[in-house]
Structure 1
Amino acid sequence: MYRLLIVDDEEIITDGLYEAFRQLMPDNLDICKAYSAKEALRWLSRTRIDLVLTDIRMPGMTGLELSKSIQSYWPRCRIIFLTGYSEFDYAYQAIQMPHVRYLLKTEGYAKVIQTVQEVMLELEQSSQMKALVERSQEQRDAFEFMAQGGYFRHLLQESHHLAKHPELLAGHFDTFHIPLDPNLPVVLALGRLAYPEGSTYAERSGMLASARIIWNSFLSEHVRSLGILDKHEDMLWFIQMSERKEERFGEHLIRFLEGTLEQIQEACQSSLGFTMSFTLSGASCEWGAVTGQYERLRQLQQMKIGDGVAMILTDRRDQVDHVPIKEGSRTGLQAELLESHLEAGRAEDFFQCLEEVTSSMLQRKGDVQKTVEAYYSIALVLLSCINRWRLHGQIGDYSKLMRLDEHPSIREGFDYLYSLAGRIFSVRQMDERDRTTHIIDRICGFIAGHLHEDLSLVRLAEIHFFNPSYLSRLFKQETGMNLSDYIEQCRIRKAKELLGDGDRKIREVGASVGYEAAHSFSRFFKKATGMTPQEYREALITL
């Protein structure tokens, strides 16, 4: 799904185009609108925009001036200038810009719609071409990828130590041909693929390679990055701003990454048939803090805030804490691995790892404290999952989980962990449709309680931690209707209810269902019911 932003200071034109596109292409376009360049800039800083349809003459900032910001925020974005002016200088300036078209308002809606469809086709073809790379290059990079991955896995263990010796760090980067600057801060992105059930190791390796190709096709022109496979078989990217990009782009880097990761998710789904979720740093960090930032992203990934499969979660902390690795953290790393298996539903791997930990701990004859620490580390993993997944009442009694002293022996305590983990895996295999129904009900409840607010697809996705395109597809799949149509139905139903209150002014009714301008509310209401709000109110009185 592409995102179109319509910008015009003439409200009737903006609203008319919005309605035309919403009716013609509800499944292919997420449509946003702005009545000024300033409002358009807010949209550009908030979410990815693929196509902008803008007036060329507007008060405050012209469309030509706006286009410079568009290309700074979203370099792949296409622009269509729409104007009533046919002066040569405007047209000449417009056609000199990359990814830009120029239309006159006198050419009519049909021409505008045709042009938008042509640009959407160009975007689709561009994505497909970028996804195709030479296989020989892929093979040549494989060896270097393995070497770089080994070094960065070492770096993740003790970045605070390595960063104390900048010359040594710079030498390592040069030796392994790492395309990053050890003197500049870095942003981390942790990606997890949703592998099809029963996929083999070879198939998973192919999917990872394809994901790397898609990543590079979208980002190589705009940022410097290096991706590795971490010990949990998740992709971890280290990202810095490209030397070619201006300083202003650096300020926008996190938003740019969020929007581009959404495109990468869609490309993985449409081209390769698998989904991928991302956890992203909310700010850059120094190399000495990489270990702490990575651990933070893994924690957020394991929490899996929201229920969207194609999730993009950003760590919104203002700064990254420098968290050194303590000597006694090995037990915590084992618990983290167990949590990873539990989160991914890998029962066989989980129980194998748990058996290894249990055997190792029970063989420690005199080190009771380490064994107790291991028990409670695993118990906390299970308790965290029970709380996050709201499994209370579904897995039976687990009152002894955090009470090792109530078990006859430590051995029986670990047996209890085995049993409880088995019950958690069983419950997690419940019908996926029940879980999806809960998600849709939650979104519908939010809509019903916030009809007077912005209910754009972008905002709903932000609040519920979804990829906007995935949310749109999921809602239609489960309800049989477009999300925008459902919101309109809710607003009409609420407006009819409020119009029954004769003491409430019509403009107040409009504001209560999200329409600040009275004429916009009247047009919306008449289109849906065949009557203006006043005519509907009068009809109620005569009944």
Structure 2
Amino acid sequence: MIRLLIVDDEEIITEGLFEVLKQLNLGLDLYKAYAGEEALDLMNRTRVDIVLSDIRMPGMDGLELMNNIRSHWPHCKIIFLTGYNDFDYIYQAIQASGVSYLLKSEGYGKIIKAVTDAMNELENSLRFHNLIKQSREKLTTLETLAQGNYFRYLLQGARAEEELEVDFRKLGIALDSSLPVLVVLGDLQRTNLSHSFADSQEAALAVKFLAETFLTERTDSLGIIDRYGDLVWLIQPGSGLRIDPGEAYVRTVRYLEGQFELLQQACMESLGITFAITLCAEPCEWKQLSMAYERIRNQQHRRAGDGAQMIQTVYMESVETAIPSRSLREKEETLAIHLEGGSREGFLHLLRELTETAFVEGRGGGPFVLELYYTIALLLLSYINRWELHDKVEATGLMQRELHASWQDSFDYLKRVAESLFDLRLSGERSRAAAAIEKVRSYIDEHLGEDLSLVRLANVIHFNPSYLSRLFKQETGINLSEYIDEARIEKAKELLKQDEMKIAEVGVRVGYETPHSFTRFFKKSIGFTPLEYREGLRK
């Protein structure tokens, strides 16, 4: 969803524009600020796509705000509202790309057209077929595979900085071996992909190549495909970001949250691929890479809901200690991928193929079948141990094949255990989704008089705003904004029963600073003004 921020120090203009654009239902996620500093604070916390701003404001004026926007979100479109005497300001503004201006006297019609034009430009920029072609020319598939193999080599243990520097240079890795790195895991939703290995690799490469166009402007990055077919990005702040190193990583994390959200949208529209992102909010040293990677993968498994289009930010101190890496035979690695990715259909399809092949090769028994049984049993047992499911899955027969009457019974038992694991995973995702939404509801009920913007609520549970909005509607059946409005109305009704409380005070308690805004909101919701409602109660 495209995010639009309205900035003007005159409240009547800000509120008027907000209401007009809201009523048009353009599909915008709307925000407002009454000063440049307030707008900048919002953009430090989330991506903004279009800014509609007064060019002359006390404190930070429009031009200073524009420069700050360019350093945070280079792709953001800016529309300035100006007076007749602002020619010098206008001249400076129009030198920058992505900036337009309107006279305040031109009315809402021109403003709406400027906003829809900016939306069209943004949507067109997400059609990236040409960018995919350009990215493919920059980085060959052979180089990608070589770098992926090197990543698996790095996960085996710590390497000296001098060794890393030499390897990076030879493999064309544009990262600094002396600086820490941010780790990002992208989990492709394999239910949308073919069972073919070639198709899965092609999809992962397409996403990786497309990501280059989003990340190269502000970061140095390496994207590789791990052993499970998922994408991993190793990222450092770009060398042009000349600020304190600690602040550079903080800004880069915020930048990545916004850029990966755009990447998800582009991949959905251009490639028909959805994927979840787990982003480590803290940089790790190269010697800690293996631990960071395992912890992020562990945390992604514990996501709420199906994870489609999710961006989850992980703080290392809040994540349980990772279980050591899995050790499975090469020919069963695809089973591990399906189990890890939650692809029930893919797992059972491959299990059936392996079982049929085993009975043909082993004629109903023999070493080959025994090897296959215990390899799959060990995979399932490893999964049960890592996710501590011993009390939920009956697994006593996994490593005791002799408990089963026949080989057919043995593999039927493995199938039942696998199906139980997929059922538990699905119910776990649903229960975590319900818990997350309940936490948001409780926060709303306890903070009705405060900022309840989508960005603020997303920060409460560390999800990106778009995913929270979709998950809330999915779990409750209503939009998040509708729930907030209903909660505020019910609280206002309750407070209006107390005669000693002034109507303006009631408005403040439910998040409306001005009596006019509260009255308009209340009447639009129930058909009466607050005063009429109170008088009705008295009668």
Q: TM-score, normalised by structure 1?
A: 0.81
Deviations 1:124-167 (A, max 9, x none): 12222476332793596111111111112111221x1x1x2x22
**Corresponding residue number in structure 2 for 1:77:** 76
- Structure 2: distance between partners of 1:533 and 1:508: 12
- Structure 1: distance between partners of 2:525 and 2:90: 39
Indicate the RMSD between aligned Cα atoms, in angstroms. Answer: 4.2
Aligned residues: 512
- Work out which of the residue numbers 220, 240, 245 in structure 1 matches 2:241: 245
**Corresponding residue number in structure 1 for 2:508:** 511
Percent identity, please: 46
**Corresponding residue number in structure 2 for 1:383:** 388
Helix, strand or coil at the partner of 1:383? coil
**Corresponding residue number in structure 2 for 1:31:** 30
**Corresponding residue number in structure 2 for 1:367:** none
Q: Structure 1 unaligned runs (5+)?
A: 365-372, 387-391
Deviates more, 1:57-66 or 1:374-383: 374-383
> Is residue 6–residue 14 contact of structure 1 (8 Å, CA) maintained in 2?
yes
Structure 1 residues 197 and 107 mapped into 2: Cα distance closer, same or farther (>3 Å)? closer
Deviations 1:95-145 (A, max 9, x none): 122221122211112211111111111111222247633279359611111
- Structure 1: distance between partners of 2:438 and 2:227: 37
**Corresponding residue number in structure 2 for 1:453:** 450
**Corresponding residue number in structure 1 for 2:189:** 194
Deviates more, 1:329-338 or 1:247-256: 329-338
- Structure 1: distance between partners of 2:528 and 2:230: 56
Deviations 1:245-304 (A, max 9, x none): 333655411100011111111112222222111111212222222112111211111222
- Structure 1: distance between partners of 2:306 and 2:457: 13
Helix, strand or coil at the partner of 1:196? helix
Asked whether 1:126 is paired with 2:163, we answer: no
- Structure 1: distance between partners of 2:76 and 2:285: 31
Deviates more, 1:124-133 or 1:103-112: 124-133
Structure 1 residues 338 and 128 mapped into 2: Cα distance closer, same or farther (>3 Å)? closer
> Is residue 507–residue 513 contact of structure 2 (8 Å, CA) maintained in 1?
yes
Structure 1 residues 174 and 32 mapped into 2: Cα distance closer, same or farther (>3 Å)? same
- Structure 2: distance between partners of 1:450 and 1:94: 39
> Is residue 190–residue 341 contact of structure 2 (8 Å, CA) maintained in 1?
no
Asked whether 1:523 is paired with 2:528, we answer: no
- Structure 1: distance between partners of 2:495 and 2:503: 9
Asked whether 1:302 is paired with 2:297, we answer: no
Deviations 1:410-443 (A, max 9, x none): 557998887544323346578x999988987776
How is 1:459-538 mapped onto 2 (pairs within 5 angstroms)? 459-464=456-461, 466-473=463-470, 482-538=479-535
Deviations 1:323-379 (A, max 9, x none): 9x99xx6669999998764342245648969999x9679999xxxxxxxx9997544
How is 1:259-278 mapped onto 2 (pairs within 5 angstroms)? 259-278=258-277
Helix, strand or coil at the partner of 1:66? helix
- Structure 2: distance between partners of 1:479 and 1:40: 31
Letter in 1 for 2:181: V
**Corresponding residue number in structure 1 for 2:202:** 206
- Structure 2: distance between partners of 1:136 and 1:274: 18
Q: TM-score, normalised by structure 2?
A: 0.81
Helix, strand or coil at the partner of 1:490? helix
Helix, strand or coil at the partner of 1:19? helix
Structure 1 residues 232 and 306 mapped into 2: Cα distance closer, same or farther (>3 Å)? same
Deviates more, 1:5-14 or 1:470-479: 470-479
> Is residue 311–residue 465 contact of structure 1 (8 Å, CA) maintained in 2?
no
> Is residue 188–residue 230 contact of structure 2 (8 Å, CA) maintained in 1?
yes
- Structure 1: distance between partners of 2:319 and 2:479: 40
Q: Structure 2 unaligned runs (5+)?
A: 359-366, 405-409
How is 1:15-414 mapped onto 2 (pairs within 5 angstroms)? 15-26=15-26, 28-84=27-83, 86-129=85-128, 132-134=131-133, 137=136, 141-158=140-157, 160=158, 162=159, 164=160, 166-197=161-192, 199-201=194-196, 202-247=198-243, 250-305=249-304, 308-317=307-316, 341-347=338-344, 349=347, 377-384=382-389, 398=393, 411=401
> Is residue 361–residue 374 contact of structure 1 (8 Å, CA) maintained in 2?
no
Letter in 1 for 2:531: Q
